[in-house]
């Protein structure tokens, strides 16, 4: 018995998926039982890097989502609508859904999973986070044994590619972004990548799985990489750090029930010590470091975007569903594959966060400026780990400060007072340090 696939979207990931399905040799034997039944696109006349019989292509995506012959709908069109409605329609017609769409799942996950649970079908999303890296399934299965304390990831390939090339070549942000788009890494609208929104969607999904509750996107603090300059990358390098866009979900490891405690949820460019395992993750690669009890640290590493790797995750989900369809006669929710979270996780305010900071100041070149910075920081309980004055440019001194662990609220108050001092010209960058 074969399984019929309705593919929605034949772009970067859709083409990669179709290519795997069309060449099953040497892969898992189940793949031979998967058949592309129909493919939905926006423009049938487009030239594509794949040969499919032209009569299976259509622009009527709803007809695919409701086609009684189709077992599994694979949503690879991206964006919120019509992707969400098509998934819901497919579920209502008793079809399983595989998607790479983190934007829809992070916003409408509760609605979609509730509908799927009611209908006894699966919604699988391995490709939505970490591209080809198996991380969703391990979090649902093997890591479910551990109490997870933190998930820290480099989970946007485009920004990691940009930051790596800025670091290695001193390259210009705009040129590197154009390359990432040409390579098929970036979203249709790359602001989602650059402003951290794609990573925010993904950490919402990872946190929900790791901490066993629903996550509201608005609870996640998010900063992108637009404000990261070549100067900061160079200073970080001198101080033995690299700058990475990190997505972080953490609970207090002393609490044994992370589902009811406050979580830290944040995405921001971060100075990462060069000795940290995440510091060496470069280019389009992603990595997710998971820490828990009793597992300790586990790191998942691999290609976080791109046609083939992402398609590999899509097909692995199709295979998991096909395996269940082959062995189960009744549609019952497999407890390790379905999602049944009910409550929303609580999040801690950023003011309460305890972290180290890096800040770069442009000041008048007067004696005693460093002393003044020390005094204002000190009066807010902010102690300094290092202070470097690197020289004078345009009659302004550049001073870089790294703090010890401090409360973010205290640090921000000190900065506000420092900013109003006569000797301060500007504070061009403030970044957190891992």
Ligand X SMILES: N[C@@H](CC=O)C(=O)O
Of 403, 144, 148, the residue nearest 252 (C-alpha): 148
List, in order, residues 6 or more apart from 63 with CB less than 8 Å away: 38
Residue 189 is given by DSSP the state: S
Q: Shortest approach of ligand X to residue 127 CB, angstroms?
A: 8
313 binds Na ion (CB under 5 A): yes
Residue bearing tokens 């007067």: 366
Nearer to ligand X, 150 or 156 (CB): 156
CB 245 within 8 A of CB 226: no
Number of residues this chain uses to bind Na ion (CB under 5 A): 4
201 binds ligand X (CB under 6 A): no
CB of 185 to ligand NDP, least distance (A): 5
* Residue nearer to ligand X on the CB measure, 156 or 167: 156
Annotated binding site for NADPH: 102
Q: Is there a cis peptide before residue 7, judged by omega within 30 degrees of 0?
A: no
CB of 59 to ligand NDP, least distance (A): 6
Rg (CA), the chain: 24
CA distances from 367 to 16, 121, 383 (A): 62, 70, 21
- Please work out the total of residues on this chain that contact ligand X, with binding judged by CB under 6 A: 11
Nearer to ligand NDP, 117 or 181 (CB): 181
Beta carbon of residue 89, minimum distance to ligand NDP (angstroms, whole number): 13
Long-range contacts of 420-424 (CB under 8 A, 24+ apart): 421/372, 421/376, 422/364, 423/363, 423/364, 423/366, 423/369, 423/372, 424/361, 424/362, 424/363, 424/364
Binding residues: 102, 187
Whole-angstrom Cα distance, residue 325 to residue 321? 6
For position 307 contacting ligand X by CB under 6 A, the verdict is no
Listed ranges 66-74, 95-103, 267-275, 305-313: which one lies at the site for Na ion (CB under 5 A): 305-313
Residue 95 falls in the annotated catalytic set: no
Q: Is residue 264 involved in binding ligand X (CB under 6 A)?
A: no
406 in contact with ligand X (CB under 6 A): no
Of 103, 151, 186, 272, the one binding ligand X (CB under 6 A) is 186
Between residues 97 and 194, which has the closer beta carbon with respect to ligand X? 194
Any contact of residue 187 with ligand X (CB under 6 A)? Answer: yes
Annotated binding-site residues for L-homoserine read 187
By the rule CB under 5 A, 6 interacts with Na ion: no
Question: Quick check: 40 and 60 in contact, CB under 8 A?
Answer: yes
Q: How far apart (Å, rounded) are the C-alpha atoms in residues 372 and 424? A: 10
Question: Which one from 95, 140, 202, 244 is the annotated catalytic residue?
Answer: 202
Residue written as token pair 């995506």: 61
- Determine which residue in the list 14, 16, 78, 130 makes contact with Na ion, applying CB under 5 A: 130
Should residue 312 be labelled a site residue for ligand X when binding is judged by CB under 6 A? Answer: no
The residues carrying an active-site annotation are 202
> What residues make contact with ligand X under the rule CB under 6 A?
131, 156-158, 185-187, 193, 198, 304-305
């Amino acid at each position: 018995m074969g399984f019929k696939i309705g593919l929605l979207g034949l772009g970067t990931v859709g083409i990669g998926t179709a290519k795997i399905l069309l060449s099953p040799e040497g892969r898992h034997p189940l793949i031979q039982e998967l058949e592309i039944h129909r493919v939905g696109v926006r423009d049938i006349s487009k030239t594509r890097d794949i040969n499919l019989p032209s009569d299976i292509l259509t622009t009527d995506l709803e007809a695919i989502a409701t086609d009684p012959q189709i077992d599994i709908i694979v949503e690879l069109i991206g964006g919120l609508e019509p992707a969400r409605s098509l998934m819901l329609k497919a579920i209502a017609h008793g079809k399983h859904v595989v998607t790479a769409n983190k934007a829809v799942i992070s916003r409408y996950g509760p609605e979609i999973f509730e509908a799927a649970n009611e209908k006894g079908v699966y919604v699988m999303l391995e490709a939505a986070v970490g591209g080809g890296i198996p991380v969703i399934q391990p979090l649902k299965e093997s890591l479910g044994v551990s109490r997870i304390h933190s998930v820290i990831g480099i989970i946007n390939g485009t920004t990691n590619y940009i930051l790596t090339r800025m670091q290695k070549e001193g390259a210009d942000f705009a040129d590197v972004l154009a390359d990432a788009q040409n390579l098929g890494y970036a979203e249709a609208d790359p602001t989602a990548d650059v402003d951290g929104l794609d990573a925010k969607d993904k950490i919402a999904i990872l946190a929900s799985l790791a901490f066993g509750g629903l996550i509201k996107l608005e609870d996640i603090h998010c900063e992108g990489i637009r404000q990261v300059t070549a100067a900061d990358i160079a200073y970080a390098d001198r101080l033995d750090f690299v700058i990475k866009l990190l997505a972080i979900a953490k609970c207090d490891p002393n609490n044994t029930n992370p589902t009811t405690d406050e979580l830290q949820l944040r995405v921001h460019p971060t100075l990462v010590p060069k000795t940290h395992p995440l510091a060496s993750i470069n280019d389009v690669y992603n990595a997710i470091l998971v820490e828990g009890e009793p597992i300790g640290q586990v790191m998942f590493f691999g290609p976080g975007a791109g046609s083939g790797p992402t398609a590999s995750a899509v097909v692995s989900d199709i295979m998991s569903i096909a395996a269940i369809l082959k062995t189960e006669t009744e549609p019952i929710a497999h407890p390790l594959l379905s999602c049944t979270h009910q409550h929303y996780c609580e999040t801690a305010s950023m003011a309460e966060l305890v972290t180290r900071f890096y800040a770069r100041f442009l000041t008048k070149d007067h004696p005693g400026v460093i002393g003044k910075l020390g005094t204002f920081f000190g009066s807010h309980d902010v102690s300094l780990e290092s202070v470097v004055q690197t020289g004078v440019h345009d009659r302004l001194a550049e001073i870089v400060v790294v703090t010890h662990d401090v409360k973010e609220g205290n640090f921000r108050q000190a900065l506000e007072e420092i900013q109003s001092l006569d000797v301060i010209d500007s504070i061009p960058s403030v970044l957190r340090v891992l």
